[in-house]
């Protein structure tokens, strides 16, 4: 940048085919082109540095260096909007995946619970059958004991009388 030559803004534009060009005051670009650099008032920056004690050459060198550094490393509102849209799309896809996974898990759990319930019902039925059989066997033994006691009682009564 030579003395007295200042650019009020220069914007780097990336076109549809990836071709980059500079857009300056009065220039036009395609609506499909994407702006990726920062508008930078070099005159104002040089003036501020000169007021802070820099010589004009030093101030211009600093402004040029800062402008070059910022040119490719600053996110514009369009960049942030693009990233936000991509993140929202990723989050929507993740939500859809999680919803599908949860539905599949719910189906699996429902089937597992139904199988467990059926198994428990079968086990309970088996235990009830075994308990009924054991009760019948005990009841039979009690009757046999009762008959034996009655028989002994009758025999004792005959012996005593």
Q: What residues does each domain of the chain span?
A: 10-74, 76-136
Distance CA 63, CA 89 (A): 39
Cα torsion angle, 66, 67, 70, 76, sign: positive
**pTM, entire model:** 0.42
pLDDT in tens, 103-118: 999 999 999 999 999 9
Question: DSSP letter string over 19-51?
Answer: -EEEEETT----TT-EE-S----HHHHHHHHHH
Mean pLDDT of 123-134: 96
43 confidence band (pLDDT: 50, 70, 90): confident
19 confidence band (pLDDT: 50, 70, 90): very low
Lowest mean pLDDT among 33-47, 53-67, 69-83, 99-113: 33-47
pLDDT at 46: 86
- Cα angle vertex 54, ends 51, 58, to 5°? 135
């Amino acid at each position: 940048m030579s003395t007295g030559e200042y650019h009020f803004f220069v914007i780097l534009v990336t076109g549809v085919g990836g071709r980059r060009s500079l857009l300056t005051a009065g220039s036009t670009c395609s609506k499909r082109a994407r702006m990726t650099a920062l508008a930078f008032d070099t005159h104002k920056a040089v003036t501020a540095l000169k007021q802070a004690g820099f010589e004009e050459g030093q101030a211009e060198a600093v402004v040029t260096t800062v402008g070059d550094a910022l040119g490719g490393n600053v996110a514009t509102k369009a960049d942030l909007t693009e990233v936000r849209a991509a993140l929202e799309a990723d989050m929507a896809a993740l939500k859809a995946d999680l919803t599908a996974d949860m539905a599949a898990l719910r189906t699996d759990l429902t089937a597992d619970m139904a199988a467990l319930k059926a198994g428990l019902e079968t086990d309970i039925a088996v235990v009830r059958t075994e308990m009924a059989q054991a009760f019948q066997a005990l009841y039979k033994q009690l009757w046999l004991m009762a008959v034996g006691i009655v028989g002994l009682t009758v025999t004792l009564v005959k012996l005593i009388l």
